[in-house]
Amino acid sequence: MDNRPVGARQARELLRVAFGPSVVALVVIAAVTLLQLLIANSDMTGAFGAIASMWLGVHQVPVSIGGRELGAMPLLPVLMMVWGTARTTSAATSPNSSWFVTRWVIASALGGPLLIAAIALAVIHDAASVLTELQTPSALRAFGGVLVVHLIGAAIGVSSRIGRRTVRTTPLPNWLPEAVRAAAAGVLALAGLCGVVTAGSLVVHWSTMHELFAITDSVFGQFSLTVLSLLYLPNVVVGAAAVAVGSSAHIGLATFSSFTVLGGDVPALPILAAVPTPPLGPVWVALLIIAAASAVAVGQQVARRPAPLHVAAAKLVVASALAALTMALLGVAGGGRLGNFGEVGVDQTTFGPGVFLWFTVIGGLTVAMSGGIVRRPRRVRAVGPEPDLEPEPDAEPDPAPEADDADTGPVLDTLPDEPPPPAEAPEPAAPEVAQDPEEHFIVDEDVTGNGVTGRAPTGRSPTDDEPRRSAD
């Protein structure tokens, strides 16, 4: 149990949020850079400038060396940076944290990286005075990239802790977390299936990948190519996702889609052996099945809690829009200029809309077929006691027919109603007379002729239901 004061614990958490992920990335980059310079038997003149440039490159800031811009940075480091920021902010945020504490957590997650970015720019500017080939990146681009990366991570981490509470206490719809979960399911399904297709394509083009590894004879060089291929693996997956939804990806003049492939120069990176080569076979059209399967995943998540038609449609549209925005953002982050090869990336005019259309149409069909739409219950009118019906007024007597001018008969006056006769007084009841018990005996003649026989009293008089039998 931590016995330190609350203020000391909170200060430590804020320091971890501010500098934890950035310092870890800085240490890893420094170790890799120094190892590369040591193996290449190079002096350490531009070591600090290279480390600072690579740290900014992790935040998708282009690096310019010798007049050539490297803007297509690998996506794996930036995804790990977002994950680290989300993890630290989530650990520093309690589900019951006040807005004051939450704001401090977000400010720390942004303030620390921005401070390191300012130091990195200063180091690069100082190193550029010695290494003329190294150029200082734009300050606005550097601060903007760092801010966006850590803001996304902080938003993910904080919303994972207080997101549901925020939805309950604000006018936001209650189904918003379900839409976010459906969007995440669609993005993960699309990326996972495209990763499987990329691995299968590498197996098919194994000979091409072997030739690309053979450009260097050293073990360390091949190891470096392997690490670099893994860092660029998310970029290739995003390109495969663009092809799967009907869009296209391009590396310079080389263009790839599900329907056509235009050849061109491709960098000698082993992971790029997965790209299709002309002529395009019909098997690549099967990538469209991946988009449909990912849309089914979105629809199933939306249909987990059945809702009326307008609510289910709103959840589906919001989930599809979030998924399309996420994929478009990954496409922008994974693209850029790659030296002499030109622009690398996906067709943004069709990538985001393609994801949105697939997820909306196929996802909507999945929601309808999975029972995710329920009818509104009919409003039942409250049934209360029936109001007392007022007695209808007595019908007015028909007016007496008016005498016709031609009628000369006598007119009879209406006699007044006679008063009802007085009610007669009830007659006094006769006093009860005691009866002799012998009167209840009934004497009948014996039908056999043996004389009179007596019967026990039956309690019934001769006038009862059974008639008295007499002798024949």
Taking the CB of residue 227, how many other CB atoms lie within 10 A of it? 12
Q: With left for phi above 0 and alpha for psi between -120 and 50, is residue 31 left, alpha or beta?
A: alpha
* Percent of the chain surpassing pLDDT 70: 78
Taking the CB of residue 74, how many other CB atoms lie within 10 A of it? 21
Query: Tell me: the pLDDT tens digits for 430-462?
Result: 444 445 544 544 554 444 444 444 444 444 444
Buried b / exposed e along 63-73 (16+ C-beta atoms within 10 A):
bbeeeeeebbb
Q: What mean pLDDT is reported for the chain? A: 80
| Domain map (residue ranges) of the chain | 1-172, 174-375
Cβ atoms of 128 and 54 closer than 8 Å: no
Q: How far apart are CA 364 and CA 149, in angstroms?
A: 32
Q: How far apart are CA 75 and CA 59, in angstroms?
A: 9
Query: Tell me: the pLDDT tens digits for 164-173?
Result: 888 888 888 8
Looking at residue 47, its pLDDT comes to: 83
Q: How far apart are CA 352 and CA 321, in angstroms?
A: 9
Residue carrying the six token digits 């993890």:
87
Q: How far apart are CA 183 and CA 360, in angstroms?
A: 11
pLDDT at 300 over 90: yes
Cβ atoms of 95 and 28 closer than 8 Å: no
Q: How far apart are CA 157 and CA 163, in angstroms?
A: 10
Query: Tell me: the pLDDT tens digits for 260-279?
Result: 888 778 888 899 988 887 77
Taking the CB of residue 136, how many other CB atoms lie within 10 A of it? 19
Chain centroid, CA 248 distance in Å: 28
Q: How far apart are CA 355 and CA 292, in angstroms?
A: 10
Cβ atoms of 360 and 317 closer than 8 Å: yes
Buried b / exposed e along 16-42 (16+ C-beta atoms within 10 A):
bbbbbbbeebbeebbeebeeebeeeee
Polymer length in residues for the chain: 472
pLDDT at 411 over 50: no
Beta strand segments in 320-435, E: 336-337, 343-346
User: Pairing relation of β-strands 452-454 and 261-262?
Assistant: unpaired
For residue 151 the two structure tokens come to: 């803001």
Q: How far apart are CA 165 and CA 113, in angstroms?
A: 28
- pLDDT tier at 6, thresholds 50, 70, 90: low
Looking at residue 12, its pLDDT comes to: 86
Beta strand segments in 193-323, E: 248-251, 254-257, 261-262
Distances, alpha carbon 390 to alpha carbons 78, 328, 387, 395, 396, in Å: 82, 73, 9, 14, 17
Decide: residue 451, CB within 10 A, 0-12 exposed, 13-18 middle, 19+ buried. Answer: exposed
Residue carrying the six token digits 């009293």:
457
Residue 204 pairs with which residues in a beta bridge? none
| String of DSSP letters for 68-137 | EEE----HHHHHHHHHHHHHHHHHH--TT--HHHHHHHHHHHHHHHHHHHHHHHHHHHHHHTT-TTB-PP
Query: Tell me: the pLDDT tens digits for 351-408?
Result: 999 999 999 999 999 999 988 888 766 665 655 555 554 555 544 544 544 444 444 4
- pLDDT tier at 3, thresholds 50, 70, 90: low
